[in-house]
Structure 1
Amino acid sequence: MMKLASFSLPLFFFFIHIASAANSISSSSVCPTNSCADGLQIRYPFWLSQGSLPDQYCGYQVFGLICGDSYPIFSILGLYYIVTDIDYDNHTLHLVDYDTFNQTCPRALHSVPLGSLPLSHSPLNLNLRFYYNCSSHPSGATPIRCLTSGMNESFGFVEGNEIRGFDWSKNCGEIVTVTVMKDRVTSEGLMNEYKEAMNEGFVLDWQTAQSCVECEASDGLCGYSNTKKEVLCFCNDGSVQSNSCSGKHRAHLPKLIIGLIAAGVGALLMCIIIFFTRRKISLIISTDYWKTKKKDENIESFIRNNGPLPIKRYTFSEIKKMTNSFEVKLGEGGYGNVFKGNIANNYPVAVKVLNASKGNDGEFINEVVSISRTSHVNIVTLLGFCLEGSKKALIYELMPNSSLEKFICQKDLGPNYPPLSWEKLLQIAEGIAKGLEYLHSGCGTRILHFDIKPSNILLDKNFCPKISDFGLAKLCSKTHSIVSMLDARGTFGYIAPEVWNRNFGGVSYKSDVYSYGMLILEMVGGKQNIESEISDSSDVYLPHLLYKQIELGKNIAEDDDMSREESEIAKKMTIVGLWCIQPMPSDRPPMNRVIEMLEGSLEQLSIPSKPCMFPPIIPTNGEEICATNGVLSLSADYQCGR
């Protein structure tokens, strides 16, 4: 019997392959592949219109393309876009606005109106906001010189990064949102980068058209009849049905193939029965098996109930393919390993593969559900995930400059990691603050991160900071300022006191403010190498040392090479950080106020009360030391991510 099994198994798949090949041949004859001058393949679900609409065609009704001078042209609700690439494996469409293509000074005329089309913006995209013909503008705003019209000027920003406190809609004649690729622009270099970014275009993902769901479910290819004005379904046997193939194509298969497939299936089932009988089906009755199955079902159910998710789900075989079988490791931690990979259009990504043995199901769910609801230049982009039994992975945009943790101590950085200037540190601090403000009040659901620290701040090629690792995040309504938590969460040294001790107050978004304050104080301490003053003592609290310098009027910047501007930046960051780590949540500023403090002048900042948030220590030389028993602190041994 086992010999029969060894024969029937490959025989079964051989006949399945024959049937599949027959279907493929008949499908390609019904729905042929076309191309324009550039050679780009145009095939299902897209179709080519040769000047006039055909009587009937195979493809989604709204996915008709026409050939331009060099590229296919795609019309979206009356607007025209050049098609530069179609990725049929990943269902992505790369487009460039026809109105601004190859212009030396592009002026966007419209946004991308998707309406009810089976299209959605890719996570690779980013929105720019242009304000045209502004009669006035705030100081510090850089105009787009080539778009100046008389006394009026025009401005561009990464959406959400406009200068605050100014009514742009009231002072500008027109506002247009433009979609570009995320990796083509930065907030700092936007004026020099936006032209090329608009010329590079953007990416859309396509989904199954609602009118074609039934047809594709029956293994048919959807089309349309212009004469009858109805949906068609092109079947694998060459027939054309009204809505679906309804199994008819199977009836047309040669009886010999059907008989052989049935014989192969019977032999295969016999082998399976014998195999599991001899093994006494130990796997099926295993307690661990059922626990794992139940756990995975719970995760699946949670993700479905919080969907639909705007990110792609990958199989584990696809994960192996995009990482070239996990060839290049970028890092590792208690959660698992991170590998370098590539997805559509050779876009580089970081793939975090979670350890199967770790109890990380809750963190995995948090990461997928919370970060998939975000879209901000200072939040890392989650491009996809994999959930296949115990195999779990997360796919992120790749950050070439790793994390902020590498730069805080500035030791052994190597040639690829130059020391960051004070100006760049301030920009990073502002970017993190804007990302947190977005999480707290800018997206549909308030998201509390609960793990803000240097290793969770990633830096792109232009050192733009992006908040990552939402494994401990908690989603809550904007109408509730206090959240309920049964357990403390966070990293030692950055946890707000109320998270572990409710005597300090309720847990809220102000808990993230505390962690942010500790983060920027550590940035100042690392830049100034303050740990050398602390020596090896673990009883000296970094915020206390920084507060003492300000209280005594001592210059934060002891380095003779530092300019006055750099010294002011260091002092400003220190004062803001001290405000953020006040023991009582009500005394801490919200993130929008933090942004105003960082962007404002030093003279406008007042010095907060001394933060009494470090372990009790014995006073020396009669010095009075403020201390609170039992409160978590950032000791010298923990500075710089040690």
Structure 2
Amino acid sequence: MLNYEKFSLLLTALILLWKPAIGKNRCTEKCGHVHIQFPFHLRNSNLNHTTTDYPPGFDLFCDENDQTVLELPAVPVKLFVQSIDYRSKQIQIYDPQNCLPNQLLTLGNSSVSPFRFYNEYGLSRNVSFFRCNSGLLCPILQLDSSTDFIDPQIISCTKVSDVLSVLWPVNNDDPRGGAVLLEWSKPDCSSCEAQGHKCRYKTGTRETECFVCRTNKIPTSTIGLIVAGALAGLTLLLLSVIALLCVYRYYKMRGRYYKMRGEDQVRIEKFLEDYRAMKPTRFTYADIKRITNGFSESLGEGAHGAVFKGMLSREILVAVKILNGTEGDGKDFINEVGTMGKIHHVNVVRLLGFCADGYHRALVYDFFPNGSLQRFLAPPDNKDVFLGWVKLQQIALGVARGIEYLHLGCDHRILHFDINPHNVLIDDHFIAKLTDFGLAKLCPKNQSTVSMTAARGTLGYIAPEVFSRNFGNVSYKSDIYSYGMLLLEMVGGRKNTNVSAEESFQVLYPEWIHNLLEGRDVHVSIEDEGDAIIAKKLAIVGLWCIQWNPVDRPSMKTVVQMLEGDGEKLIAPPTPFDSAGSTGPNAPARRQNLELEVIHETE
């Protein structure tokens, strides 16, 4: 189907091929689409003007592109005219390069004689000008000095000037300036305009008088009429097609938008109103497309959406996660933005911004070129991938501190419920960063458990009680189980789940790690004694974290202390796979855990 933007370009080209002459009569002249009459005049028109016909400072010039330029004495800038309102005595100026701040910086806060800047509320403002890198089309941007809005465009820019008490309006949504209004007070032709007459100077004076303008119509040839009629007909046809395309696109977009259930959209918008005070950057979908260069470089795709590489500036790279906008009820989006807005920790990724534009939803994070921990899970003999035991211990401790902060360091306890190697990002210094809070839950710190209607998480890392309440109630200990499976996978360097022919998942690591600690497994060979101590410590802590009964698992604060210690006093827990073990997958949960009051999470 044809694109209506192409029709617009074709229509513009046809109109440009048939442009009228600059001047027609002594009452009204024209340059492009700007009508020019007293007190303005075109200095380069074919009409004869004397210096006494028009007031000084109202000279206009029509350039080769049919753009109207306001030429003022002693002003070293070109002010291009967008329109002139003679009734309200206002002239709108702009920059065809869309870089008006470059001109305003030169003007400063002075009035442009015989004009003054028009401000609807009459309030002056202090404006800051920023110079950005020369690669941008507009190297100068302006922002209101009093605002705390941080636009991504000026992150890499340098402030060059502060101009006080300016009267032109400042729109922080468009730091390139847009257009501004100038107004004049004299000469005043409003009384003539009210009568439908024109205005001019009385002969030999500076007083104005009204007169009726009688134009002499120029005869048009038959060929000119045919060409004009053909152009008018073609224009009408193109406008009709464009109108039909616009109607089609409108109803198509509205149909897609209303596929979302109304109650979900209302909940998301209500949340965004409450969240606006937290000051993340809210991007439009057009911003997201620009940042990601049209989604040109994919970083991967998960259950909740695809991730793309983006760039806020030449120095700031980001990862943009496009959520599945047409699926779900919006809870994942609310969870991720709401939870990330409450977190400030070295081991948790930072949320730079988000997009909630119609049915489009996206999250913007810092970019980590090393990717996720999943990339580095390998046996020690794989030298190209294996990081070494010291770095693995550093990453394990970083993840533990991040989870400890979620459980104890925020106003509410945050339960992640999806801790796995894909959701642990690694920065340039191999510092671990927790990410993906789409499944997170909030609950008060003084409560121990949460209610849950369905299992959530990644198979192989989900705690037993999340599947069946026979193992106990769901609590923050469920995150500790997932963390334990993560530790065991770091020690063994292989996946902790296996898919059989019947599509059933079996947990393989715990029994294998027990055999490793007891010397019955030689698949992992560690020669250095210091590395062996680290591997044993990680294995023992992991085994304690995956105990079947939640009350047998240590808190994350205890886990951090165990990892920070030398590990020599750590004792491995009894294997749950021995028939004589006190607990196991078929054993009932301990009664003391079932006595905890079940509470609902905070939405």
Map 1:171-190 → 2, pairs under 5 A: none
Q: Does 1:563 align with 2:507?
A: no
Q: Write the distance in 2 (CA, Å) between the matches of 1:411 and 1:91.
A: 54
Aligned to 2:585: 628
C-alpha change, 1:239 and 1:567, in structure 2 (3 Å) is: farther
Q: Write the distance in 2 (CA, Å) between the matches of 1:590 and 1:91.
A: 54
Q: Write the distance in 2 (CA, Å) between the matches of 1:588 and 1:363.
A: 28
Q: Write the distance in 1 (CA, Å) between the matches of 2:285 and 2:392.
A: 39
Q: Write the distance in 2 (CA, Å) between the matches of 1:478 and 1:90.
A: 50
Aligned to 2:420: 453
Asked if the contact 2:133–2:139 (Cα under 8 Å) also holds between the matched residues in 1, the reply is no
Q: Deviations over 1:220-271 (max 9, x none)?
A: 99xxxxxxxxxxxx9932369xxxxxxxxxxxxxx99xxxxxxxxxx99x96
Q: Write the distance in 1 (CA, Å) between the matches of 2:505 and 2:253.
A: 54
Q: Write the distance in 2 (CA, Å) between the matches of 1:373 and 1:31.
A: 42
Q: Which runs of 5+ in 1 are unaligned?
A: 36-41, 44-55, 66-71, 73-82, 94-115, 124-200, 206-210, 222-233, 241-254, 257-266, 613-618, 632-642
Opposite residue 531 of structure 2, the aligned amino acid is: E
Aligned partner of residue 324 in structure 1, secondary structure: coil
Asked if the contact 2:439–2:456 (Cα under 8 Å) also holds between the matched residues in 1, the reply is yes
- Within the candidate set 65, 85, 105, 1:33 is matched to 105
After TM superposition, the score normalised by the length of structure 2 is 0.58
Aligned to 2:566: 601
C-alpha change, 1:576 and 1:88, in structure 2 (3 Å) is: farther
Q: Write the distance in 2 (CA, Å) between the matches of 1:280 and 1:121.
A: 34
Aligned to 2:432: 465
Aligned to 2:555: 590
CA RMSD of aligned residues (A): 5.6
Opposite residue 563 of structure 1, the aligned amino acid is: D
Q: Deviations over 1:512-547 (max 9, x none)?
A: 1111011101111217x9999x9xx98673112212
Shift of 1:470: 0.7
Aligned to 2:455: 488
Aligned partner of residue 355 in structure 2, secondary structure: strand
Q: Deviations over 1:591-624 (max 9, x none)?
A: 1211110011212323323346xxxxxx9xx999
Opposite residue 387 of structure 1, the aligned amino acid is: A
Opposite residue 442 of structure 1, the aligned amino acid is: G
Aligned partner of residue 392 in structure 1, secondary structure: strand
Map 1:303-314 → 2, pairs under 5 A: 303-314=272-283
Map 1:256-335 → 2, pairs under 5 A: 275=244, 289=258, 291=260, 295-335=264-304
Map 1:71-90 → 2, pairs under 5 A: none
Aligned to 1:22: 92
Q: Write the distance in 2 (CA, Å) between the matches of 1:555 and 1:440.
A: 37
Q: Write the distance in 2 (CA, Å) between the matches of 1:609 and 1:579.
A: 9
Residue-pair matches, total: 438
Aligned partner of residue 602 in structure 1, secondary structure: coil
Q: Deviations over 1:262-316 (max 9, x none)?
A: xxxxx99x96998499979965996973645654343222222344233211112
Q: Write the distance in 1 (CA, Å) between the matches of 2:429 and 2:290.
A: 29
Asked if the contact 1:459–1:466 (Cα under 8 Å) also holds between the matched residues in 2, the reply is yes
Aligned to 2:211: none
Aligned partner of residue 18 in structure 1, secondary structure: strand
Opposite residue 586 of structure 1, the aligned amino acid is: V
Q: Which runs of 5+ in 2 are unaligned?
A: 16-31, 35-80, 85-90, 110-121, 160-164, 185-196, 199-235, 589-603
Opposite residue 437 of structure 2, the aligned amino acid is: F
C-alpha change, 1:218 and 1:354, in structure 2 (3 Å) is: closer
- Identity, % of aligned positions: 38
Shift of 1:334: 3.3
Q: Write the distance in 1 (CA, Å) between the matches of 2:470 and 2:141.
A: 52
Opposite residue 358 of structure 1, the aligned amino acid is: E
C-alpha change, 1:217 and 1:337, in structure 2 (3 Å) is: closer
Asked if the contact 1:378–1:434 (Cα under 8 Å) also holds between the matched residues in 2, the reply is yes
Aligned to 1:238: 182
Aligned partner of residue 557 in structure 2, secondary structure: helix
C-alpha change, 1:7 and 1:545, in structure 2 (3 Å) is: closer
Shift of 1:452: 0.1
Asked if the contact 1:555–1:567 (Cα under 8 Å) also holds between the matched residues in 2, the reply is no
Aligned partner of residue 331 in structure 1, secondary structure: strand
Aligned partner of residue 547 in structure 2, secondary structure: coil
Q: Write the distance in 2 (CA, Å) between the matches of 1:379 and 1:219.
A: 30
Asked if the contact 2:497–2:505 (Cα under 8 Å) also holds between the matched residues in 1, the reply is no
